[in-house]
Amino acid sequence: MSEIRATTISDSAGTGPIALTKQVAAKVWARYDGNSAIADSFNVSSTTDGTNAGETTISYTSSMSDANYATQATCNGTSGDRWVTVGSQTEGGCKAWAWDASGITRTDLPVGLICTGDLA
Q: What is the pTM assigned to this prediction? A: 0.77
Does residue 54 belong to any structural domain of this protein? yes
Mind spelling out the 3-state secondary structure of 34-52? CCCCEEEEECEEEEEECCC
Higher pLDDT, 59 or 79: 59
pLDDT of residue 28: 96
Q: Is the pLDDT of residue 22 over 70?
A: no
How many domains would you assign to the chain?
1
Domain that holds residue 68: 26-116
Does residue 2 belong to any structural domain of this protein? no
Tens digit of each residue's pLDDT (9 = 90 or more) over 62-101: 999 999 999 999 987 666 678 889 989 999 999 999 887 7
